[in-house]
Amino acid sequence: MTQRKGIILAGGSGTRLYPITVSVSKQLLPVYDKPMIYYPLSVLMLAGINEIAVITTPQDQDQFMRALGDGSQWGVSLTYIVQPSPDGLAQAYLLAEDFLAGAPSAMVLGDNIFFGHGLPELLAEADAQETGGTVFGYRVADPERYGVVDFDAEGNARQIIEKPEVPPSNYAVTGLYFLDGDAPDRARKVTPSDRGELEITTLLEGYLHEGMLKVKQMGRGYAWFDTGTHASLLDAGNFVRTLQSRQGLQTGSPDEIAFDQGWIDRAGLEERGKLFAKNDYGAYLLSLLK
């Protein structure tokens, strides 16, 4: 099987978070003690993916390169791709086509945060699927804000509807998509929606109608945050703070994951720990060496 590559879609204008995103990209805002983009990056790394493209706006690319570098500090290779205008999530597959070079991909939205016991196993199962794709459904109280999964009586997905007025279920499709190497070709055939965007739901529907898309439900033990509003950004930060202070463990740490994956050695982790030595994050990294 060809090694799966990762995509982080960190474009967009962040207007829903104005005025705090007037001068800084949404995906670089802090979620408690780390930049937002650390969390989706960590998800891809947990899935064993170390070749990753970061898609950003032209004006924000320098900020991301300053925040993440080339990825070598984590044993990861980062490629930067510019999205000239936000023309829909499916556009990411066209922009990343050369980078993917026919490889299957896992794309995660740069403002999505995932947490849960068993998450690595869930990701590994999706990664093992060579043809078609896997997406994840998460129960929400306000499904009309999302792409929503319509299940049949046996619990199989039969339709994905974008922002339905009358949702067929409470399960929203999260911003994490495992798709095969055909995704760019399929994205090219997507017709722009009424709002002029290449909708990810249209792309997924194509897979679904051919019986090639699995929708895995994330149960009660998982947390998913789409940090696109001021309230959800604060909720995510409070969740991370509570979790870390109660457990004494980090979440969304590419440094710890890189060490666990064997992509960096003890010296590499120590160097990162010393870089952040004046705060709890640095102390935590150094404690892993004990």
Q: Looking up tokens 């802090």, which residue turns up? A: 30
- Indicate whether this model's pTM tops 0.75: yes
Beta bridge partners of 105: 5, 179
In percent, how much of the chain has pLDDT > 90?
88
- 159-183, pLDDT tens digit by residue? 999 889 999 999 999 999 999 999 9
pLDDT confidence tier of residue 153, bands split at 50, 70 and 90: confident
Angle, alpha carbons 22-24-26 (nearest 5°): 95
**Phi and psi at residue 195, in whole multiples of 5°?**
-90, 10
- Number of helices and strands (H, E) in the chain? 11, 13
- 189-241, pLDDT tens digit by residue? 999 888 888 999 999 999 999 999 999 999 889 999 989 899 999 999 999 99
- For position 1, what pLDDT does the model report? 67
Helices (H), the chain: 38-46, 61-68, 91-95, 97-100, 119-127, 183-188, 200-209, 230-247, 254-260, 266-275, 280-287
Beta bridge partners of 56: 10, 82
